[in-house]
Amino acid sequence: MTMFKEGRPTAPQAVAQEHMSPATVTGNRALMLEEPLIFEIGSPATTGVDFAEAPKIASRLGNLARQDAIGLPGLSEQETVRHYTRLSRQNYAIDLGLFPLGSCTMKHNPRLNEKVARMAGFADLHPLQPQSTTQGALAVIHELAQWLTTLTGMHSVAMSPKAGAHGELCGLLCIRAALEARGDARSVVLVPESAHGTNPATAAFCGYKVEDIPATPDGRVDLEALKTRLGPDVAAVMITNPNTCGLFERDMKTISDAVHAVGAFVYCDGANFNAIVGRVRPGDLGVDAMHINLHKTFSTPHGGGGPGSGPVVLSEALAPFAPLPFVEKQGDRFVLVEEETVEDHHGDSFGRMVAFHGQMGMFTRALAYILSHGADGLRQVSGDAVLNANYILRSLADVLDAPFGQSGPCMHEALFSDKGLAEGFTTLDIAKGLIDEGFHPMTMYFPLVVHGAMLIEPTETESKAALDQFVMALRSLAGRAKAGDEALKGAPYHAPRRRLDETLAARKPVLVWNESDLAQAAE
């Protein structure tokens, strides 16, 4: 069996030909250039920029002043540009192909959004500008907030949280403040097995004891187990809906009613809102707090360490405890309220989460996306996302085990397991094989309720042709793993780097470069 398309050599032959090729002298392969570390290219003794000699001034650092040279490499402009351009060519991005990470919603970022975010007045804002000069920006934040509360059916929204996990923290802090306001000390947060992995971490960070709620055989929350555990010590239930098994929690309203009956609150992880936006309003299901990842549902850039945004929508019961600051319309002006006042409904705010209000670039991109679609367009977004996920599920169900394939249609993501692969073959082998096929791997080994999980979320922005190409690659890899093709265990063969020793990397990571490490690695 060949590893690639007709006419290409098998994987072992490809490796052998690599070692016989003159290209091994440089490590380059055609236009994929081998790139050393920046410390190996430049030298601390050289520089690409001429600086005038700095005047000598007395240091205020005392014995904390640096005694030795910093050791940064010196490069010319051309060397610097080439270095980062070559590195960028070794990266995978949504602009190159389908990005099938489950629960991450790696959708296309429309260029219209980018153009709007770069408009003067948005891109060059400074957080300390007088509010009289930022009326347009405050109007954008206010309008986006109105859309978010309308789409979710919630009472209000906190716009300052910077990301999903930050939003989770915000929601739980609101819950804790509400409980403290009524003198109700509770110590436990319940988290179903099908919830996102950040949920128990957030609850523990807030000082709560975390207890699991099991899932039923069909991948949903065990309602009876939840009801049995509810009591006066439970502060909240953190539930993900649709859940990480790719399924909608059909008993969501019943769950909320049971939680409220014992005086607790319902926190919903909104990372999967893209599957239901325009179709289901969490507020109608009894949710008290839910964060919204703007990158997952409203197409703002995802990850990369850049500025994120995780607004938190709140029920009427939690709205008074929302964090500062917030935007308020007073007459024909917009005001950013920075201080807590006892006269208004924000007098019970738990305080601030951030120094400044939010990420303006994310707000403008999200609002541009919402306005370009409208309510009907957003409804189609969720419908197309669910359609694409079910197309993936049914196109692969005959070659990969779908543990919840009989539980009805999936939502925005399709879930498979490693059941049925040949002995010694794992989910990791299929994931590494996808790299050789030109795709980023899917989410692996999550959710934990499924052994060898493969979680795939195609999003609504992928065409049928793109999905068919991905399905074809996965079907081929599944067939090879079932047939025991040993060559698959060596994949990837054509990536910038081969398969790493992940155990060694986790236990003995090399986080700082120095010449002694390089010499030791060479030995």
Helices (H), 28-110: 38-41, 77-89
Closest CA to 299 of 183, 437, 460: 460
The contacts of residue 79 (CB under 8 Å, 6+ apart) are 41, 42, 48
Residue 45: CB atoms within 10 A of its CB come to 8
The pLDDT value recorded for residue 2 is 32
User: Count of residues for the chain?
Assistant: 523
The pLDDT value recorded for residue 8 is 38
**HEC assignment per residue over 411-464:** CCCEEEECCCCCCCCCHHHHHHHHHHCCCCCCEECCCCCCCCCEEECCCCCCCH
C-alpha 279/C-alpha 282 separation (Å) is 10
Under 8 Å between Cβ of 276 and 129: no
Closest CA to 170 of 179, 178, 162, 161: 161
Closest CA to 45 of 15, 74, 8: 74
> DSSP of 226-242, one letter per residue?
HHHH--TTEEEEEEESS
The pLDDT value recorded for residue 519 is 59
Under 8 Å between Cβ of 149 and 157: yes
pTM of this prediction?
0.87
C-alpha 248/C-alpha 245 separation (Å) is 9
Domain boundaries, the chain: 112-369, 385-507
The pLDDT value recorded for residue 116 is 94
Please count the CA atoms within 13 angstroms of the CA of 497 that sit on its side-chain side: 9
Please count the CA atoms within 13 angstroms of the CA of 285 that sit on its side-chain side: 23
Under 8 Å between Cβ of 315 and 154: yes
* CATH node for 385-507: 3.90.1150.10
pLDDT in tens, the chain (523 residues): 333 333 334 444 444 444 444 445 777 777 778 888 898 888 888 888 887 887 877 778 888 888 887 778 889 889 999 999 999 988 888 999 999 999 889 999 999 999 999 998 898 899 889 999 999 999 999 999 999 999 999 999 999 999 889 999 999 999 999 999 999 989 999 999 988 888 999 999 999 999 999 999 999 999 999 999 999 999 999 999 999 999 999 999 999 999 999 999 999 999 999 999 999 999 999 999 999 999 999 999 886 445 689 999 999 999 999 999 889 999 999 998 887 654 554 568 999 998 888 789 999 999 999 999 999 999 999 999 999 999 999 999 999 999 998 888 999 999 999 999 999 999 999 999 999 999 999 999 999 889 999 999 999 999 999 999 999 999 999 999 999 999 999 999 988 888 888 889 899 888 887 766 555 555 5
C-alpha 369/C-alpha 472 separation (Å) is 32
| Beta bridge pairs of residue 295 | none
Q: Which residue has 């990571």 as its token pair?
A: 509
The contacts of residue 317 (CB under 8 Å, 6+ apart) are 178, 265, 288
The pLDDT value recorded for residue 26 is 75
The pLDDT value recorded for residue 17 is 45
Using CA atoms, how far residue 422 sits from 196, 380, 429, in Å, is 30, 40, 11
Please count the CA atoms within 13 angstroms of the CA of 513 that sit on its side-chain side: 10
Task: Give 221's DSSP letter.
Answer: B
Closest CA to 290 of 264, 308, 272: 272
Amino acid at 460: E
* CATH node for 112-369: 3.40.640.10
C-alpha 303/C-alpha 283 separation (Å) is 28
